């Protein structure tokens, strides 16, 4: 089902499979749209989860922000997402966040006990400030595009190639061209200033499953930094997908979806352990 939900930040477009499983919210990256997750609607995943994918404010079929300087910050975007979830009556969920969407997922986990696990792709959980950013990201011209408000056709081509390689679809390019460029400048400052929680600390101290999935050829992130988060005893898993770049879920959907299914199973096992036991009558 396609929904248009009115919020204080404008109308937000949501795709909802309305399945019976635990809600799985898909959060896309900057200057893209919910269409990047087209290959995650796999039968095995649809059996396990109610999949929801939304267009963030200023993206896809959602409205541009009424107050860009407030809404396009990390915390402002999370406010918008949480208002959508409240409107839908969703109280417990897991989140798959890619790139910027991964940073939003971490902030949601820090703010609310309703998030029972996150899987983040192409997202280094960084400490606030420039030094924290440089530890997680490779500085590059293509990365700097993420903070440039106005893009030329050449900028669009470079961004598409850096993020998706040859896997981009017409819907994805349409989303790149449509995106409100004001968000790029505002959210980049927000991340640099460390708005919200210390994301590195949040992930290291998480009490729910956290899966960090990255393409081996991702041009933006430092693999050595990501490897330091692995701790299976705390259900914190780091997976690297060979032959994939920044958008591993689109470039290599089979191995990615297998990891996503393992993530959902891990959350389900945690939920089963917490479920109250029914006293035996014998």
Residue 70 domain boundaries: 2-270
In a domain, 241, yes or no: yes
β-strand 49-54 against 22-27: which pairing, if any? parallel
In a domain, 216, yes or no: yes
In a domain, 76, yes or no: yes
Predicted TM-score of the model (pTM) = 0.95
Strand order in the sheet with 2-7: 2-7, 10-16, 49-54, 22-27, 93-98, 115-121, 210-215, 236-241
Query: H or E stretch including 54?
Result: strand 49-54
Residue 6 phi, psi (nearest 5)? -75, 130
Question: What's the pLDDT score for residue 98?
Answer: 98
In a domain, 275, yes or no: no
* Cα–Cα dist 11/56, whole Å: 10
In a domain, 278, yes or no: no
* Cα–Cα dist 5/19, whole Å: 19
The encoded tokens of residue 208 equal 């729910």
In a domain, 186, yes or no: yes
Question: What's the pLDDT score for residue 273?
Answer: 87
Number of domains in the chain: 1
* Cα–Cα dist 248/256, whole Å: 7
In a domain, 208, yes or no: yes
| Ordered mean pLDDT values, 10 residues apiece, the chain (282 residues) | 94 95 97 98 95 98 96 97 97 97 98 96 95 91 87 96 94 97 95 93 97 97 97 97 98 98 96 66 34
In a domain, 19, yes or no: yes
The secondary structure of residue 34, as a DSSP letter, is G
Question: What's the pLDDT score for residue 279?
Answer: 44
C-beta pairs of 160-167 under 8 Å, 24+ apart in sequence = 162/219, 162/220, 162/245, 162/246, 163/29, 163/32, 163/99, 163/245, 163/246, 163/247, 164/245, 164/246, 164/247, 164/250, 164/251, 165/245, 165/247, 165/251, 167/247, 167/250, 167/251
Reduced to 3 states, what is the DSSP secondary structure of residue 152? coil
* Cα–Cα dist 49/39, whole Å: 15
Question: What's the pLDDT score for residue 274?
Answer: 81
Q: What is the CATH number of the domain that holds 139?
A: 3.40.50.1820
Nearest to 94 by CA among 177, 27, 158: 27
């Amino acid at each position: 089902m396609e929904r248009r939900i009115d919020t204080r930040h404008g109308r937000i477009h949501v795709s909802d499979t309305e399945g019976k499983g635990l809600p799985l919210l898909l959060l896309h990256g900057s200057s893209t749209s919910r269409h990047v997750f087209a290959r995650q609607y796999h039968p095995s995943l649809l059996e396990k989860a109610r999949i929801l994918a939304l267009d963030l404010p200023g993206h896809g079929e959602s409205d541009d922000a009424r107050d860009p300087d407030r809404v396009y910050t990390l915390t402002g975007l999370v406010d918008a997402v949480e208002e959508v979830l409240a409107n839908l009556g969703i109280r417990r969920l897991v989140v798959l966040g890619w790139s910027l969407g991964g940073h939003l997922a971490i902030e949601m986990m820090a703010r609310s006990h309703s998030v029972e696990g996150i899987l983040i792709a192409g997202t280094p959980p960084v400490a606030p400030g420039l030094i924290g950013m440089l530890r997680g990201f490779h500085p590059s011209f293509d990365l700097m595009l993420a903070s440039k408000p106005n893009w030329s056709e050449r900028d669009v081509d470079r961004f598409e190639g850096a993020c998706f390689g040859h896997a981009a679809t017409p819907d994805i390019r349409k989303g790149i061209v449509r995106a409100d460029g004001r968000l790029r400048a505002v959210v980049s400052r927000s991340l640099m200033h460390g708005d919200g929680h210390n994301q590195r600390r949040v992930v290291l101290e998480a009490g729910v499953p956290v899966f960090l999935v990255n393409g081996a050829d991702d041009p933006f992130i430092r693999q050595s930094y990501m490897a330091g988060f692995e701790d299976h005893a705390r259900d914190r898993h780091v997976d690297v997908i060979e032959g994939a770049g920044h958008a591993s879920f689109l470039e290599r959907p089979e191995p990615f979806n297998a990891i996503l299914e393992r993530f959902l199973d891990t959350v389900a096992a945690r939920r089963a352990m917490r479920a109250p036991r029914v006293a035996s009558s014998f």
